[in-house]
Amino acid sequence: MAKTKEAVKAIPKPTKKIRVRNQVPKGPHNGVQVVLLDDVLHVGKQGNIVEVKPGYARNYLIPNGLAVVPSEHNIRMLEHYKIRVEKVKEARVADLKSLSEQIVRTQSVTIEANMDDEGHLYGSVTAQDICRAMRGKNLLVEPEMIKLTEPIKVAGIHPDIEIALGYDIHVKIEVVVKPPTATGRR
């Protein structure tokens, strides 16, 4: 019987294959660490490695493409992505600077509005109206960029209407509100 026990011991037992899951690394506060692919409000900026609750990462950030697991490959890809985004941002800033120079050269925009004899408008001139008048002069400005404290309700010259183009580029323009010309009426 000794031979059989020795013979059994000599045959190596098959090793059980251990399956390792790709788990997200834990942070010091029992959260998970992720690399942000985009700016997330109250979490962090693009490219930061942040620690968040596991459910938030698993159910929101990773499925929506806002974050990835911090592997060497993902961090390298994020660096390439940041370079591309920076180039696009530089091009956008250059376009906005040229637009601001065009606005400064234009100096004023004229808007025709219906009003009574005293110069009070029947309606009001809003950012939408100013945007439309600027587009008539081939200045591509969005209504959200025009910062009016309140709508214009009186005819005349309104200096220093601020336009925030973005990326801390601000320009001021003069808006002239006048009655419509008689040629346009019947």
Please say whether the beta carbons of 69 and 94 come within 8 A.
no
pLDDT confidence of 171, banded at 50, 70, 90?
A: very high
Nearest one of 158, 156, 137, 155 to 147, comparing CA atoms: 158
Look-up: residue for tokens 């994020």? 78
**CATH code where residue 155 lies:** 3.10.430.100
pLDDT confidence of 20, banded at 50, 70, 90?
A: low
Indicate whether 150 belongs to any domain: yes
Alpha carbons 134 and 153: distance in angstroms, whole number: 19
Indicate whether 120 belongs to any domain: yes
Which domain range does residue 126 map to? Answer: 99-180
Indicate whether 45 belongs to any domain: no
Alpha carbons 89 and 98: distance in angstroms, whole number: 14
Q: What is the mean pLDDT of residues 77-84?
A: 85
Task: Give, as one character, the DSSP assignment of residue 25.
Answer: P
Whether the pLDDT of residue 184 is over 90: the answer is no
Indicate whether 35 belongs to any domain: no
Look-up: residue for tokens 């997330």? 40
pLDDT confidence of 183, banded at 50, 70, 90?
A: low
Indicate whether 148 belongs to any domain: yes
Alpha carbons 61 and 54: distance in angstroms, whole number: 10
pTM of the entire predicted model: 0.62
Choice between 28 and 21, residue whose per-residue pLDDT is larger:
28
Choice between 185 and 176, residue whose per-residue pLDDT is larger:
176
Task: Give, as one character, the DSSP assignment of residue 17.
Answer: P
Q: What is the mean pLDDT of residues 137-148?
A: 91
pLDDT at 4: 62
Alpha carbons 1 and 71: distance in angstroms, whole number: 55
Whether the pLDDT of residue 42 is over 80: the answer is yes
Q: Considering its fold, how many domains does the chain have in total?
A: 1
